[in-house]
Structure 1
């Protein structure tokens, strides 16, 4: 006899905290050295240029979820552009989630094997973080969101403490002269930041599970504003401490900054970075593994996403190994290719969906061609809050 499975629901705050953890740890591990290498002492200007785009990304993802309630991005892509083209969009988004998760797994392993335990095989770290993430994903989104909220409440005070402890070592004269090499490097650095902020798209897989979606758009834009502020210290700190040239040559500049600084009797502040990045990497990889498996369930109309967690996790470990022969190759990809790739997947394609959806809504409001397929899709999406999509048995059967 089957059992009825009710959908998991989380709060807006829990959903947005998932985004904060995810984007922050990716920025620290992978993007900050790339941005500093690109923009140098003008990295703070890159933050300012990228800020309006970040706010629009929050607006865009939340607006699509508001217009298509109870549907994931995999589902409303088909509602907006049709079944076949929408399926291509959905597959592109799912590959984007898979690839970003693999980059995070690789970054986590490279950090530990490069900076902490160089004799440990990197596969050990890959397997450990993916197994932990898989366990959390199988427990459900609510467990994942609650765990991340607990971690983030620990991570933010530690991050603030680390910034305060390193403040005395910072020399803001290192940011002069401004735009010495022209605006080009600064603009390239801003493209990397916009590509990083575009990973907020993953919440398109989470927002349908939000308990109360009122004011979701304002909350999303506010979250992106918080992320902009949270990156001010990590992006500018290494340049203020080490200078533009040395800061650009470090693989993990924020870790190096904490490791080199001693405050009175306090030594080995690098343990703060290890703690933060370990918790953050777990949250990021868990979120993306959930988004990927839940998206596959929705796309192929499977009974339960949990059966996909183990094989998807195994593929994630294998793909992380195959991304590049060395971490230098990963950095080159993030610097030269990812800005275009990330903007296409996380910004251009969702913006195109938003534009088409807006046109269809305007036509519908003016009495234009009936949007029957969209209305039917919304009706079908009414039960989209059930994570595993198991139909409810009629009473008495």
Structure 2
């Protein structure tokens, strides 16, 4: 059914998506982009931005056809129960993997940088428990938390970006295409994998108090592009393309260069706030959306499913795989698979929306 009131504003949705998608585009895909495209990685981002705008228009058309119904209800009404389940399962799998990848990457970064002697299961368990609690509390609680966390995340981002300006040499972004177009094309896949996570708005639009407008999606898309370009170009300009490619977390390393005057340095602890804010919102939002797509409404059942999802991610995270194997998984499987899933499913949903729209017009004319 249509939800004319909603529970959150579009700005709150933007804040959630900025924190959730931003941690991927700002952190996770940067080392992959640099390893595949090197100095030309920022060109890969710009080239992806062009078709990305067209995809945003497609996403807007789907949202408009859904008429602010939930994705589950809309698909049930248009393609039936079986068709709905077939289309929703890949989305649920993607949401689960988004949460798992984020949890694993956060845990690796935590262990390497500031809690090397703390058992991984302990820090992972704390984050999962907080995220399960927020997901159980509902979308309104996640939105409020995002509104409280995001302003400081943005403030600290401006601090490290502008504070390191004297150490940046943007001439290092040139020359272009030293190794041809192949590295640039390879890098485009990973940029697309991050950008397409804006599909989250599709799962949130029935919670909004206002209709989704194309201009809103354009602004959100522009923010995500900037969240990718800023740390990427900053890493190349500060460390050079060779050294930046060798780093596991180039965005974090930029904090190590930041000083304020002669006596204030070692400000990288502020990046802990940035990262954990994004990780918390991303995990909470993904867990909440999985239970919503499963159409679980009873509180005890929701808590049980959320607990199971959190426990399963902790179990998978505890498996004996190295960080290099994890990066290989991201490079060869996760980002290519996520990009393909989102592209194919949005095309299918667009076709469903067009067919459903024509059927509604036909019934209207007959009546």
Q: TM-score, normalised by structure 2?
A: 0.91
For 2:218, the equivalent position in structure 1 comes to 221
For 2:194, the equivalent position in structure 1 comes to 196
Match runs of 1:1-397 below 5 Å: 9-213=7-211, 215-264=212-261, 265-296=263-294, 298=295, 302-304=297-299, 305-322=302-319, 325-362=321-358, 364-365=360-361
SS of structure 2 residue aligned to 1:243: helix
How far residue 85 of structure 1 moved from its aligned partner, in angstroms, is 2.6
Aligned residues of 1:97 and 1:288 also touching (Cα < 8 A): yes
For 2:145 and 2:55, how far apart are their aligned partners in 1?
25
For 1:350 and 1:181, how far apart are their aligned partners in 2?
34
- In terms of mean alpha carbon deviation, does 280-289 or 25-34 score higher? 25-34
Aligned residues of 1:56 and 1:221 also touching (Cα < 8 A): no
For 2:137 and 2:84, how far apart are their aligned partners in 1?
30
For 2:54 and 2:317, how far apart are their aligned partners in 1?
31
Q: Which has the higher helix share?
A: 2
- In terms of mean alpha carbon deviation, does 64-73 or 280-289 score higher? 64-73
Aligned residues of 1:162 and 1:272 also touching (Cα < 8 A): no
Instruction: Sort the Cα spacing of 1:336 and 1:177 in 2 relative to 1 into closer, same or farther, 3 A.
Output: same
Aligned residues of 1:192 and 1:338 also touching (Cα < 8 A): no
Instruction: Sort the Cα spacing of 1:210 and 1:269 in 2 relative to 1 into closer, same or farther, 3 A.
Output: same
How far residue 67 of structure 1 moved from its aligned partner, in angstroms, is 1.3
How far residue 366 of structure 1 moved from its aligned partner, in angstroms, is 5.5
Instruction: Sort the Cα spacing of 1:313 and 1:204 in 2 relative to 1 into closer, same or farther, 3 A.
Output: same
Q: Which consecutive residues of structure 2, in runs of 5 or more, have no partner in the other structure?
A: none
For 2:277 and 2:363, how far apart are their aligned partners in 1?
51
For 1:354 and 1:369, how far apart are their aligned partners in 2?
23
How far residue 17 of structure 1 moved from its aligned partner, in angstroms, is 1.4
SS of structure 1 residue aligned to 2:318: helix
Aligned residues of 1:11 and 1:212 also touching (Cα < 8 A): yes
SS of structure 2 residue aligned to 1:120: coil
1:161-192 CA-to-partner distances (Å, cap 9, x unmatched) read: 11001111111121222010111111111110
How far residue 64 of structure 1 moved from its aligned partner, in angstroms, is 2.0
Aligned residues of 1:53 and 1:194 also touching (Cα < 8 A): no
How far residue 127 of structure 1 moved from its aligned partner, in angstroms, is 0.7
How far residue 70 of structure 1 moved from its aligned partner, in angstroms, is 4.0
Q: Which consecutive residues of structure 1, in runs of 5 or more, have no partner in the other structure?
A: 1-6, 371-397
1:343-368 CA-to-partner distances (Å, cap 9, x unmatched) read: 12222211221123224424543669
Aligned residues of 2:195 and 2:225 also touching (Cα < 8 A): no
For 1:319 and 1:91, how far apart are their aligned partners in 2?
20
For 1:251 and 1:74, how far apart are their aligned partners in 2?
39
- In terms of mean alpha carbon deviation, does 336-345 or 36-45 score higher? 336-345
For 2:8 and 2:356, how far apart are their aligned partners in 1?
30
1:172-219 CA-to-partner distances (Å, cap 9, x unmatched) read: 121222010111111111110111111122232221111122x53321
For 1:366 and 1:347, how far apart are their aligned partners in 2?
29
For 1:375, the equivalent position in structure 2 comes to none
For 1:369 and 1:248, how far apart are their aligned partners in 2?
60
Aligned residues of 1:191 and 1:339 also touching (Cα < 8 A): yes
Aligned residues of 1:293 and 1:312 also touching (Cα < 8 A): no
SS of structure 1 residue aligned to 2:248: coil
For 1:392, the equivalent position in structure 2 comes to none
